[in-house]
Amino acid sequence: MKHLLLIEDNGDLAYGLKNNLEIEGYTVEVAGDGPGGLAAARRGGHDLVVLDLMLPGLSGFEVLRQLRDDGSEVPVLLLTARGEEADKVRGLKLGADDYVTKPFSVLELLARVEALLRRVPSDEQGVAPEDRWDGYGDVEFNRATRSVRRGGVPVELAPKELDLLLELFDQRGAVVSRTDLMSRVWGYPAAVLSRTVDTHVGELRRKLEENPSEPRHILTARGVGYRLKR
């Protein structure tokens, strides 16, 4: 069972989120301010932290910064205010893994939580993280060692190429827009227009597709973005 830490000062929102997360099978610890949330996070034992940015006593930014300065690698999902693009970018640069913009639907939050938890290596069944491989088709990757192989042959991916591949894989076939990929993988605001995503997708296809000009797995959603067909 996954254990989550929810740091949220709005009592009604925290109560509702806790109930919904517990219905999904998670155990949830709640902290109502920044200092309490930081202390709880430092105690450890959490698989994911859901962190509001606007907290009394200590801002969510400061909680996140201190956690990362401590060396904590626990995944962090930010709760941000609508329209505060700079906050999202700042949070990602401080080490957040994803964000949800208020007001959000419970289904969206649950989907983000599930996606982040899929990225965390599990020690279930006594399998060491470095021995755990995932993948699609003839492509396999190991999150712990950041290794990739195709047809059993090692493939060298640049760090951001691998991050992009994992982001697409974790969306389970859903289309991800270019702006979302720029934000989640590179930490750039949606307003930034760049060919960076297209260039990296091209490299992934060159290295991982049998025929890069006619890809079978890394597919284009014309005018929107990309998706990964497993």
pLDDT at position 45 is 84
Residue 225 binned pLDDT confidence (cut-offs 50, 70, 90): very high
Least confident of 117-121, 156-160, 195-199: 117-121
pTM check: above 0.85 = no
pLDDT digit string (tens) for 69-94? 988 889 999 998 866 778 888 888 89
CATH architecture of 3-119: 3-Layer(aba) Sandwich (3.40)
- Cα–Cα dist 63/34, whole Å: 6
pLDDT digit string (tens) for 150-164? 999 999 998 889 999
The residue extents of the domains of the chain are 3-119, 129-228
Residue 139, Ramachandran bin (φ over 0: left; ψ between -120 and 50: alpha; else beta): beta
Residue 71, Ramachandran bin (φ over 0: left; ψ between -120 and 50: alpha; else beta): left
Burial class of residue 88, CB neighbours in 10 A (0-12, 13-18, 19+) = buried
pLDDT at position 134 is 86
CATH level 3 topology of 129-228: Arc Repressor Mutant, subunit A (1.10.10)
- Which residue's structure tokens are 């990362």? 68
Of residues 112, 214, 190, the one with CA closest to residue 225:
190
